[in-house]
Structure 1
Amino acid sequence: MLPKIKKFALTRFEYRFDRSIGDSQVFFENSHSVALELHDDAGNIGLGFGHKLFEPYPSQATMEATFAKYIWPEIEGQTAFELTQRVERPRGGNQRDAKYGFDEALQIALWDLASQQASMPLGKFLGGTREKVRAYASGLDFHMSDEEFVEFFSNAASHGFDTFKVKIGSPDPEWDLHRLELLKKTVGPDCGIMADANEAWSCKEAAMRLTMFHDAGIDLIWIEDPILRNDFAGLRSLREMAPFTQINSGEYLDLTGKRMLLQAGGTDIINVHGRVSDTMRIGWLAADMGLPVSLGNTFLETGVHAACALPEVEWLEYSFLSNEHLVDTPIEFKDGYALLPEKPGIGFALTDAARNIWSAPDPVAADALKTAPPCRFISK
């Protein structure tokens, strides 16, 4: 008999990143997240994280009341295994905003709990055979000065990363070209380069810029989200107009949108993120269509599990974000690879410091936010 879920706990976090991050459209400095823990009657604790980019979560008490009213009745007394396998019928009013804002945390926590009960790392529980996946260093660097940019990517290269993604999409094409050339000069001509425009361009403008970069000797592995996410016809056309690079898209689309993008032939690589069930489902479809999958940023790099389980995944994004102080054993990286943890589940748990020092049960005034310690690869 599988253990049943008997209790939940939420921990709210709010702190300042150790650096400002952003792209051609947005800029932010603070981390807003929530940890969900699901306890079973055998003593296992499944952990999942949700996060917001721009605004804090409501108070912890408010979130607990919402979870208790709308989510808890659906999972109390059930097994994590049955809940991870359940296929729901999305119709009418039950198509709400991702389980009242808890969907990502809930998916991860349930899969963590189920794989702990099986005494397997989540990546193995998902059917994976790999122990590691290639990772690329992502700067979220659009608002960095050139000096900060050089320092960041030099540091990433010194830690064994040999492939890098930069943010472009400036109104000035020469600025974009300058940053790409600066990266190449910083990390060396033999390193791999990717770029992310965050929907800054029209289809025709994207084709012109990509041709400009190519003619200047910048060979991009991919261009990410060059135009609007739902312009499937434009993305398909861009694939034809820029045969010298790959189009990576799908980051901003939900599961249904990703399916439609694949069916429309609008991307060379499908970009997925942290929701384990959704990621596996779209990964299976991509495998059926023979298309590569990339794992974008996932909170504390939990995406390494799905990445190692899906054979079409070639890359995992790593952005050197200062969240690692929340858990006991963050995901390891070696020689440009993210390593699958050996521990059962996702491989880590909340620390006492996370609960007692970094938790923020209520919203914090901006001038009172604590700054998180730097990522382990960055010394300050």
Structure 2
Amino acid sequence: MKITGYRTLRTHRDWGRPVGDVNGFIASGITEVPIVIVETDEGIEGVAVGSDHDIARIFPALEGQDPRGVSGLYDRMLAHVFKAGHNGATFGGIATLDAALWDIKAKALGEPLWRLLGGRDRFVPGYASGLDIALSDERLADFYAAMAERGFTSGKLKGGRDVETDLRRLRIVQEQLARNTQHPALMLDANESWNLKQAVRYVSAVEAEIDLTWIEEPLRRWDAHGHARLSQSVRAAVATGENLTGLEQFRALFDLGAVDVVQTGAVWGITHFLRLAYAAHARDLPISPVGLTSNPAVSHAAAAVPNHLTAEVQDLGMPFGVLVDEHVDEGGIILGDAPGAGLTVDEQAIGAAVHDGDWLQSAGPHVRPLRAGLSLAAERRAGSSPATHRDA
């Protein structure tokens, strides 16, 4: 079997609510979703959702190769962009091609990917995550009530601006999830918005009233020394790593004992997840993938590693024109038996659709505010946008 080509298309996801974090939000709730399809000379095609960045530059590393040699081809893609480097958005393009190759390999064997990777149980434990910074208290309660109906016992709040606001909203999440357990697990995600001492003060204030399971991305992603000091200063576990693009970027976090829950963005792909999971396992650390809505294939990898803790479940729907052989229930993801990663794409419907995807709008959560981490007071002035706020 040989790789002969690829094609890309873009669809959209309608979240049905504003989505974002402390850095900004998408008011429309419409986001773009790239799809990559890798073609072979035997007619088996690999389908992956994630990123199409730099695909044209990366693909020559795959053309004419046997797609079943996935691990070797992953290294070949990294080597192909050696001079410029694979970090940043390029890593997303590599990851999406990688996921498509795993899809091909499992389809060729007629197996669901989770079984090919060595998984015994099709169930992937998860936690609810509403990307909820812009939701009213009422809509926040509605989202976590719906997730509680699916059996979830843990939830993650986007916050980091104001302690009192976060305490109130954490209690809302707690109340909704309490229908399934007396002690819901509560996590708070600050999305790299603090400096070290801000983080210590803020988390300590929250922990005075609520038992946090973890604090997520409290500091800049590369600040291993800061994360280590924070972990020693608070009770909550420190969870970070989702924005690190490459296994080598975790070295300092591991060496300094700076991470308690190792996270990886699902958009960074299957091979990266597997390698990071085993690196974490060697250090007795759990791993947790972030954003499975961005790359549902990583759910299959999560089912196959010994130290998977929980996976972020942000939505119950799928992008327009995409079907995934899985369903959310019992507080997690139940994977299906379709060969491969279970993705089916209606290319004709997607091609005919007209939509306005605005995930990359300037006010969205992909743009860091210039003064993030540089305020004496964490809270924002009333009516100011977190993406545009400036201190007087």
TM interval, shorter chain, is 0.7 to 0.9
What is the CA distance between 1:354 and its match in structure 2?
4.1
Corresponding position of 1:10: 8
- Unmatched 5+ residue regions in structure 1? 52-56, 58-62, 367-380
Corresponding position of 1:328: 323
Alignment of 1:180 with 2:166, yes or no, is no
Structure 2 distance, partners of 1:215, 1:237, is 19
Equivalent positions of 1:123-142 (< 5 A) are 123-142=114-133
**Are the equivalent residues in 1 in contact too, given 2:160–2:190 (CA < 8 A)?**
yes
What is the CA distance between 1:93 and its match in structure 2?
3.1
Corresponding position of 1:288: 282
Alignment of 1:271 with 2:246, yes or no, is no
Alignment of 1:115 with 2:111, yes or no, is no
Q: Deviations over 1:279-312 (max 9, x none)?
A: 1111111111111000111225222111111111
Structure 2 distance, partners of 1:294, 1:15, is 23
Corresponding position of 2:364: none
Of residues 111, 135, 151 in structure 2, which corresponds to 1:160?
151
Letter in 2 for 1:267: V
Query: What root-mean-square deviation, in Å, do the aligned CA atoms of Structure 1 and Structure 2 show?
Result: 2.4
Equivalent positions of 1:77-116 (< 5 A) are 77-86=64-73, 87-88=75-76, 89=79, 91-95=82-86, 99=90, 102-116=93-107
Alignment coverage as a number of residue pairs: 345
Aligned identity (percent) is: 28
Cα distance change on mapping 1:354 and 1:336 into 2, 3 Å:
farther
**Are the equivalent residues in 1 in contact too, given 2:13–2:318 (CA < 8 A)?**
no
What is the CA distance between 1:95 and its match in structure 2?
4.1
What is the CA distance between 1:159 and its match in structure 2?
2.2
**Are the equivalent residues in 2 in contact too, given 1:8–1:39 (CA < 8 A)?**
yes
What is the CA distance between 1:91 and its match in structure 2?
4.0
Q: TM-score, normalised by structure 1?
A: 0.83
**Are the equivalent residues in 2 in contact too, given 1:133–1:315 (CA < 8 A)?**
yes
Runs ≥4 residues deviating over 6 A = none
Structure 2 distance, partners of 1:117, 1:359, is 34
Of residues 310, 314, 320 in structure 2, which corresponds to 1:315?
310
SS at structure 2 position matched to 1:184: helix
**Are the equivalent residues in 1 in contact too, given 2:327–2:334 (CA < 8 A)?**
yes
Structure 2 distance, partners of 1:288, 1:78, is 32
Q: Deviations over 1:98-121 (max 9, x none)?
A: 548622321111111112112222
Corresponding position of 2:39: 39
Structure 2 distance, partners of 1:259, 1:332, is 35
Corresponding position of 2:48: 48
Alignment of 1:191 with 2:184, yes or no, is yes
Letter in 2 for 1:285: A
SS at structure 2 position matched to 1:279: helix
Letter in 2 for 1:24: V
Alignment of 1:234 with 2:226, yes or no, is yes
**Are the equivalent residues in 1 in contact too, given 2:13–2:320 (CA < 8 A)?**
no
- Unmatched 5+ residue regions in structure 2? 359-392
Letter in 2 for 1:173: V
Structure 1 distance, partners of 2:278, 2:312, is 20
What is the CA distance between 1:145 and its match in structure 2?
0.9
